Structure 1
């Protein structure tokens, strides 16, 4: 049970990072709210579990993570687009998501549906790192 708790905590932390302010050219999130459910630091890593809600039409803004993010879709459908603007991932309730770390993994999460997207996200980051690093739109026709 403890391993499941840490998994969920890490995923929530990672997604939350995406909501923090960053560079001047960053694309801000919209329609996103989050609640930290648990957090701890072990062995130089922060494990943060968050529940994130993205309202219809909302998005996380373009971002990347300094650590690995693990998420489970609880409600709604999340569309994630990578920085090449063409690679889309659609995640429905019960689907899991793993987002790798690093500035070479810029992406955006959007709710293109008519009901809220609810995610449980566990962030596993280097201790003291933000949950996400904002990034500029890589040139996609949407924000």
Structure 2
């Protein structure tokens, strides 16, 4: 009989990655990545020395995105192509809150990405969205989903699933426990070939 702790450690060892590792791969895209030009500009005399007044140079700053903490994903299948033409119309009527029925139309599924996902105790995905919709299956622990649209916490436990709407719908998923791990699987539908399945955005005030 396999010890539960050993099983949990195995899952986390394989799936929980540092935020920098996730953002660097094809699986995810973070708006925080910026190119930094470190070359020395010539001054007026052409000496090649650094400018004496760097404070006079305008700096273009990109918004700081909400990166994941204690959350990671292991890519199991990347951009698997549907053999048939697939278009999905998703209707979600949430059990909690007053957001009512939400509909999402995905005119061209084309490809899907499959990943195993895991949260450390108290871990969170960071606020993000997707190019399409995501079907999430929770197999361990308890996860809280928060949509920017209504800021209502919805909890999903092992053996339950939910649909995370992308296409501009910003949301965050957090491990509800400070002591237990959580994990499951996610199928991202409608991810254009060669593009990331997740894009992190600025933090939302909920």
Query: What is the TM-score of this pair, normalised by structure 2?
Result: 0.54
Q: More displaced, 38-47 or 113-122?
A: 38-47
Deviations 1:15-63 (A, max 9, x none): x888542243210101112211223233673311111111011100000
Note closer, same or farther for the CA distance 1:18–1:59 as it changes in structure 2 (3 Å cut): farther
Larger Rg: 2
Partners of 2:30 and 2:201 within 8 A in 1: no
Structure 1 runs (4+) greater than 3 angstroms displaced: 16-20
Aligned to 2:45: none
What does residue range 1-143 of structure 1 map to in structure 2 within 5 Å? 20-23=29-32, 24-39=63-78, 40-42=80-82, 45-84=110-149, 86-103=151-168, 105-113=169-177, 114-124=179-189, 125-140=191-206
Gap regions ≥5 residues in structure 2:
1-21, 33-62, 86-108
Task: Tell me the TM-score normalized by structure 1.
Answer: 0.76
Q: Deviations over 1:86-107 (max 9, x none)?
A: 311100011111112211x101
Paired residues in the alignment total: 124
Deviations, residues 72-126 of structure 1 (Å, cap 9, x unaligned): 00000000111146311100011111112211x1010001202111111101123
Could you tell me which runs of 5 or more consecutive residues in structure 1 were left unpaired when the two chains were aligned.
1-15
Q: Secondary structure at the match of 1:98?
A: strand
